[in-house]
Amino acid sequence: MRYGDDDLPKQEIIRLQNQVIREMTQSNLYNIGEDLWGLHEEIEALPQITPPPGYPPVPEIDFVPKAEKKQELPKEAKAEQPAPVEDIAKLREELESLIGLELIKKEVDGLINLVTVNKLRLQHDLKVEELSLHMVFSGNPGTGKTMIARLMSRIYHSLGILSKGHLIEVDRGGLVAGFVGQTAIKTKEVIDKALGGVLFIDEAYALTTRGSNDYGQEAVETLLKVMEDNREDLIVIVAGYVELMNDFVKSNPGMESRFNRFMYFPDYTLEEMMAIFDLRCKSSGYVLAEDAREPLKQIIKEESEDNIAFGNARGVRNLFEQAVSRQANRLARQQNVTREQLMEIMKEDLEDPQEAEKAANEKDTQDD
Residue 190, Cβ neighbours under 10 Å: how many? 18
The stretch 262-291 carries a mean pLDDT of 96
Residue 100, Cβ neighbours under 10 Å: how many? 21
Each residue of 337-346: pLDDT tens digit? 999 999 999 9
Are the C-beta atoms of 137 and 149 separated by less than 8 Å?
yes
Q: Return the pLDDT at 365.
A: 55
Query: Looking at the predicted structure, is the pLDDT value of residue 136 above 90?
Result: yes
What is the overall mean pLDDT for the chain? 81
Query: Looking at the predicted structure, is the pLDDT value of residue 66 above 50?
Result: no
Task: Provide long-range contacts, Cβ within 8 A and 24+ apart, for 181-190.
Answer: 182/215, 183/215, 183/216, 183/218, 183/219, 183/222, 184/218, 184/219, 184/221, 184/222, 186/219, 187/218, 187/219, 187/222, 187/223, 187/226, 188/222, 188/226
* Domains annotated on the chain, with CATH: 10-71 (no CATH), 88-265 (3.40.50.300), 270-356 (1.10.8.60)
**180 or 221, which is more confident?**
221
Per-residue three-class SS string for the chain: CCCCCCCCCHHHHHHHHHHHHHHHHHHHHHHHHHHHCCCHHHHHCCCCCCCCCCCCCCCCCCCCCHHHCCCCCCHHHHCCCCCCCCCHHHHHHHHHHCCCCHHHHHHHHHHHHHHHHHHHHHHCCCCCCCCCCCEEEEECCCCCHHHHHHHHHHHHHHCCCCCCCCEEEECHHHHCCCCCCHHHHHHHHHHHHHCCCEEEEECHHHHCCCCCCCCHHHHHHHHHHHHHHCCCCCEEEEEECHHHHHHHHHCCHHHHHHCCEEEEECCCCHHHHHHHHHHHHHHHCCEECHHHHHHHHHHHHHHHHHCCCCCHHHHHHHHHHHHHHHHHHHHHCCCCCCHHHHHEECHHHCCCHHHHHHHHHHHHHHHC
CA angle at residue 98 from 168 to 301, to 5 degrees?
Answer: 100
**61 or 166, which is more confident?**
166
- CA–CA gap between residue 51 and residue 19 (Å, rounded): 9
The Cβ-side half-sphere exposure at 238, using a 13 Å CA radius, reads 29
**43 or 337, which is more confident?**
337
Query: Looking at the predicted structure, is the pLDDT value of residue 205 above 50?
Result: yes
- CA–CA gap between residue 302 and residue 305 (Å, rounded): 5
The Cβ-side half-sphere exposure at 46, using a 13 Å CA radius, reads 12
Query: Looking at the predicted structure, is the pLDDT value of residue 20 above 80?
Result: no
Q: Return the pLDDT at 344.
A: 96
Tell me the sheet residues that pair with 139.
Answer: 265
Are the C-beta atoms of 20 and 56 separated by less than 8 Å?
no
Query: Looking at the predicted structure, is the pLDDT value of residue 73 above 70?
Result: no
- CA–CA gap between residue 165 and residue 149 (Å, rounded): 11
The stretch 56-78 carries a mean pLDDT of 44
Each residue of 282-326: pLDDT tens digit? 999 999 999 999 999 999 999 998 877 788 999 999 999 999 999
Tell me the sheet residues that pair with 262.
Answer: 136
Query: Looking at the predicted structure, is the pLDDT value of residue 170 above 90?
Result: yes
